[in-house]
Amino acid sequence: MTNDQITPAVTKPDVSKVLAELEVPFAPCQVQWRVTNTSNDKKRGQVIPYADPRAYTDRLNALFSPQGWTREYKVETMTNITRVKKGESILSGKVLVTCTVTIIGLWSHSGTGEEWADDDNGMTSADAQAFKRACSCFGLGRYFYDIAPIWVDLDQNRQPVRTPVLSAWALPENWRKGMRPSSGNGDGGPKQPSRGSSSNGANGTGGGKAVSAPVNGNGRNGHEPHSKANGSAATNPSDELDHKILEMEKAVGSALYRNILREYGRVNQPKLIREVSTKRKVLQMLESATRGFGRLEAVTKRLEPKTVEALLAKLQAPPLNNIADIKTLQNVVLGLEELAGPVQPHA
């Protein structure tokens, strides 16, 4: 038999092994920190960790080779959206990106990203968001969601004075030994030491003893209790909330649905929200948007189409069926209801 008659065998990946390797945290040198909130004096800020998309690509290449996985992008745009930038309301648009990552021999997952069209790096940022969120569905980079934001001192450029220290469980070598985030103090790591004028209070400026990183309302960072006795009780409400949230997409539209998930859940799919309290908040905002659309439908029946169009132009709002953020919805509803006046009682 000659060599050209030999067909190379295609080896399917060992699913359990590759999924375990995908979940391993990135090396500390690949982790960067983003400031998401600042104190009133801008001297302290709340930071969260993240990794560059290249770190995700390197991990996929190492595990599956460049030929072993693919990604596909779908780009949409939305126009005539009002946003506040540097204290001024401007008419802009949004870039919406969907990235589908396929690992050959396994399956595909999609993630979404969005940015304002007037941002110089809007497309690049939306691409990166979508790609990383798709990867998180495989477990890659998912651990970042288990790290609570922490308060640190900022320099004159509003960047951390010192690189924050990752919890022990978020280091690759410790993760492989079985360390995982606990349910006790946010991200499962030790309490953060104070630096300078110590505190990580509500605005990062208060005095007193240093305390652990902020946690959500249920005292955990989205981790279900480890006790088997509580397993079903913790899982069922979460699954029920996921189902209710998914059902809301048709009621509010895909664009507004994604915006609310992004803003209040920091995810693109409800199942990726670990905290039950956050799921409830997302559902609450979606239900509020549904009521808003109900009021919108009712008030537009009482007004002439030209009156509605005039208000939308004044507010620099998009057409009613293109409203993609809850603030715009609120402004439009309140404005139309003011024009329409109180509902006259039936005789």
Least confident of 35-39, 187-191, 303-307: 187-191
135 within a domain of the structure (yes/no)? yes
Same domain, 163 and 256: no
Q: Residues 316-325: pLDDT tens digits?
A: 788 888 888 8
Same domain, 49 and 111: yes
Predicted TM-score (pTM) of the model is 0.51
Mutual angle of helices 53-64 and 15-23, in 10-degree steps: 160
CB proximity list for 144: less than 8 A, separation 6 or greater: 48, 49, 50, 51, 136
Range of the domain at 30: 13-216
Same domain, 184 and 249: no
Same domain, 112 and 261: no
6 within a domain of the structure (yes/no)? no
Final residue before a domain boundary, out of 161, 185, 216: 216
Final residue before a domain boundary, out of 190, 216, 242: 216
Same domain, 268 and 188: no
Report the C-alpha gap between 256 and 330 in whole angstroms. Answer: 13
Least confident of 32-36, 113-117, 153-157, 185-189: 185-189
99 within a domain of the structure (yes/no)? yes
Domain with residue 18: its CATH number is 3.30.390.80
pLDDT given at position 345: 55
345 within a domain of the structure (yes/no)? no
When pLDDT is averaged across residues 53-67 and rounded to a whole number, the result is 93
Same domain, 210 and 256: no
8 within a domain of the structure (yes/no)? no
Query: Which residues are bridge partners to 35 per DSSP?
Result: 47
